[in-house]
Amino acid sequence: MKTILLGQNKIPVPAIIQGTMRFDRLTTKEVAAMFNNDLENGTNFVDTANCYGKPEGLVESIIGKTFAENPGLRDKLILQSKGGITFYPDGRPYHNYSKEHLLKTLEASLSRLQTDHLDYFLLHRVDALFRPEEVAEAFEIMKRDGKVLHFGVSNDVPYGIELLQKYCSVPIEINQMQFSIAHADMCVQPIATNNHDFYAVDRDCGVLNYCRLKDITIQAWSPFQYGFIDGVFIDNPKYQEVNDAMQKVADKYGVNKTTIAIAWILRHPADMQVVCGTTRIDRFNDCCKACDIELTYEDWYNIYLAAGYPIM
Ligand SMILES: NC(=O)c1ccc[n+]([C@@H]2O[C@H](COP(=O)([O-])OP(=O)(O)OC[C@H]3O[C@@H](n4cnc5c(N)ncnc54)[C@H](OP(=O)(O)O)[C@@H]3O)[C@@H](O)[C@H]2O)c1
């Protein structure tokens, strides 16, 4: 397992994270098997959120029951959850980063997860009404009470993070962002800048280089999805050209395309972690194999070009 040094504190953590957004389809026995398999692969980092599964908290509850049935398992893991997305009674989501709501969300997550603390707590999606002073107060209370050890954000842009950090005494160590071969705008935009090209439009205010500059670790979510979690691009006829390019590189290293999709992200020098959401042990093992290979410049750009991204 590749280790990366997370955030400004440079804490060694595994490059591959077990995502749990789709764990509502698993039994507690199957979740325990996934977590034990993660550990055998050398990764102990688990990502979840209050909003995974329906009703709210379902996935956290399944994970908590898994911990209760398997004493000692929680302590072997680095447990990360996210908050800030909430729901109307009819199921429509909205965002709430108020101090009161964040503290209440954390308590509910800890109770469902049957643990006394989270290792990492992330703000999930930007709240238009957020007041950084309030978030800072909430984070400080969580930290003071020993209920959260480290903090981060998700889907946030540089000035949002700067604004929050201005008031927070705790460092923002993580920004979780969607990133994959089929969703690579974050690293394509700087290449296309200064041109009349679709990819020249800066939609994230240079978040990739900003995070590198500030030693904020990017966690790449949905490494196999295109669009906004619209589906998998591997073996998808809409993505034939990039699948062909990935297959060639996969043959070269004696692995499959699942491994190459992760190796492509790990090859980026930003030293990202990758949040893999498969619910299958064999597929998770393929993800971990990516740590054993390093793509060459030629491999990486062949896949980049086949995905339709510009070179100027
Ligand atoms: N911060 C955010 O806003 C945010 C948003 C979304 C997700 N996340 C996090 O990121 C994690 C990953 O997201 P995700 O589940 O959308 O992403 P993913 O890892 O890209 O997709 C996993 C899904 O793709 C399927 N799949 C089909 N073929 C596959 C293949 N060849 N290799 C791998 N998977 C294949 C998997 O099915 P099987 O299960 O049958 O393998 C699973 O349903 C989530 O679990 C969550 O922790 C964060």
Could you report the per-residue pLDDT of 165-174, keeping only the tens digit for each?
999 999 999 9
Q: Which residue is closest in CA terms to ligand 1's atom 15?
A: 277
Query: What is the enclosing helix (H) or strand (E) of 149?
Result: strand 148-154
**Mutate-to-test residue for ligand 1 from 23, 43, 58, 221, highest number of ligand atoms within 8 A of CB:** 221
Average pLDDT over residues 41-61: 97
The confidence score (pLDDT) of residue 197 equals 85
Average pLDDT over residues 197-207: 92
How do 273-276 and 231-232 pair as beta strands?
unpaired
Q: Is the pLDDT of residue 186 over 90?
A: yes
Q: Is residue 155 within 6 Å of ligand 1 at its C-beta?
A: yes
Q: Is the pLDDT of residue 230 over 90?
A: no
With 0-12 CB in 10 A as exposed, 13-18 as middle and 19+ as buried, what is 240? exposed
The confidence score (pLDDT) of residue 287 equals 98
With 0-12 CB in 10 A as exposed, 13-18 as middle and 19+ as buried, what is 269? exposed
What structural domains and CATH numbers belong to the chain? Answer: 3-306 (3.20.20.100)
223 Cα–ligand 1 center, Å = 7
76 Cα–ligand 1 center, Å = 23
Q: Is the pLDDT of residue 182 over 90?
A: yes
Q: Is residue 279 within 6 Å of ligand 1 at its C-beta?
A: yes
Q: Is residue 81 within 6 Å of ligand 1 at its C-beta?
A: no
Could you report the per-residue pLDDT of 6-21, keeping only the tens digit for each?
999 999 999 999 999 9
CA distance linking residue 148 with residue 51, whole number of Å: 18
Instruction: Give the nearest ligand 1 atom to 25 CA.
Output: 39
Question: What is the token pair recorded at 196?
Answer: 């009349």
The confidence score (pLDDT) of residue 194 equals 87
Is residue 62 within 8 A of residue 53, CB to CB? The reply is yes
Q: Is residue 199 within 6 Å of ligand 1 at its C-beta?
A: no
Q: Which residue is closest in CA terms to ligand 1's atom 47?
A: 19
- Does this model's pTM top 0.85? My answer is yes
Q: Is the pLDDT of residue 229 over 90?
A: no
20 Cα–ligand 1 center, Å = 8
Q: Is residue 225 within 6 Å of ligand 1 at its C-beta?
A: yes
Q: Is the pLDDT of residue 36 over 90?
A: yes
The confidence score (pLDDT) of residue 177 equals 98
Q: How confident is the model at residue 153 (pLDDT cuts 50, 70, 90)?
A: very high
Could you report the per-residue pLDDT of 68-116, keeping only the tens digit for each?
999 999 999 999 999 999 999 999 999 999 999 999 999 999 999 999 9
Question: What is the token pair recorded at 246?
Answer: 């990935």
7 Cα–ligand 1 center, Å = 24
The confidence score (pLDDT) of residue 187 equals 95
